[in-house]
Amino acid sequence: MKQPEVHLYRAADYPRMPWRNGGGTTQEVACNPGGSTAAFDWRLSIADVAQDGGFSAFTGYQRIITVLEGQGIELTVDGRAQAPLAPRQAYAFAGDAQVQCRLLNGPIRDFNLIYAPARWHARLQWVAGAGPWAFHSAASEVLVLTAGGALVVRINGAPHALPSRYDCLHAASSGGLAEYRLEAEAPLDACVIELLPRKV
Give 9-41 as a DSSP string: E-GGG--EEE-TTSSSEEEEEEE-TT--SSS-S
**pLDDT of amino acid 1:** 56
pTM (predicted TM-score): 0.93
**pLDDT of amino acid 173:** 87
CB-count exposure of residue 111 (10 Å: 0-12, 13-18, 19+) = buried
Instruction: Give the contacts of 103 (CB within 8 A, at least 6 positions apart).
Output: 49, 51, 52, 70, 71, 73
Give tens-digit pLDDT for 34-85: 766 667 899 999 999 888 988 888 999 999 999 999 999 999 999 999 999 9
Output the CA torsion 170→130→181→141 (10° steps): -30
Predicted confidence band at 135 (pLDDT cuts at 50, 70, 90)?
very high
**pLDDT of amino acid 36:** 66
Within 10 Å of residue 68's Cβ, how many Cβ atoms? Answer: 19
Predicted confidence band at 200 (pLDDT cuts at 50, 70, 90)?
low
CB-count exposure of residue 57 (10 Å: 0-12, 13-18, 19+) = middle
The answer, yes or no, to whether residue 199 has pLDDT greater than 90, is: no
Give tens-digit pLDDT for 136-173: 999 999 999 999 989 999 999 999 999 999 999 999 98
Q: Which residues pair with 143 in a beta bridge?
A: 170, 193
CA distance 176 to 9: 24
**pLDDT of amino acid 13:** 94
Nearest alpha carbon to residue 75 among 88, 84, 66, 86:
84
